[in-house]
A and B are shown apart, each in its own frame.
Chain A
Amino acid sequence: GAGVSQTPSNKVTEKGKYVELRCDPISGHTALYWYRQSLGQGPEFLIYFQGTGAADDSGLPNDRFFAVRPEGSVSTLKIQRTERGDSAMYLCASSLNRVTNSPLHFGNGTRLTVT
């Protein structure tokens, strides 16, 4: 079946611009997670949703970062006034339920480059 889909796969933008990164989770998965992975590092947690609500956004680095999931399926990570330090791979993952032992399924990520 279809896995987690992230678009675009690559995004190059200029410093100061606004970007949106999209995640389509596996159908039926209620939990959705965003992670950020810098080169040579492991992924770092940003935010997760249970349904439409952001259950934990403690990993968002500052108020330039925001994420939504208005209908409980597709999610968009939004970054305002991008900075060169935002350059990283942004990963999305979904799972059947955040509470049970259901595993996380990761997408292939969006590589963001801020010039």
Chain B
Amino acid sequence: GNSVTQMEGPVTLSEEAFLTINCTYTATGYPSLFWYVQYPGEGLQLLLKATKADDKGSNKGFEATYRKETTSFHLEKGSVQVSDSAVYFCALSAEAGGTSYGKLTFGQGTILTVHP
């Protein structure tokens, strides 16, 4: 079956530091890949996505590239801010356009804390 593995947290950084959160997956076919973020007291929000190999998703300074050869979708940001403190989830679904597109498999989440 499908699975997603994220680097274990929590991750603590100083403001303006470089962020990487690793994510690898196991899936059949060509899944779509996502990063979701959960800010304190709020619901899950889509941060970025990529639907095919070598696609790069980006949003709010975050980026992730769909690497089929390494089955990875690592999240990066060049300079984090205190407001980026949240829980980040990597997820996959069946390929875009398929009937199971919204059925997501999530990783366990990585807690990020950014200090001033």
Contact = CB atoms under 8 A, between A and B. Distances in A.
Contacts of B36: 106
A66 interface: no
Given A91-B44, A99-B97, A41 B103 contact: no
B43 A99 contact: no
Contacts, number: 64
B104 A109 contact: no
Nearest to A98: B102
Interface in B61-116: 89, 91, 96-109
Interface residues of B, number: 27
Contacts of B100: 56, 98
Interface of B: 4, 32, 36, 41-46, 49, 51, 89, 91, 96-109
Interface of A: 3-4, 31, 33, 35, 40-45, 48, 55-56, 91, 93, 95, 98-101, 103-104, 106-109
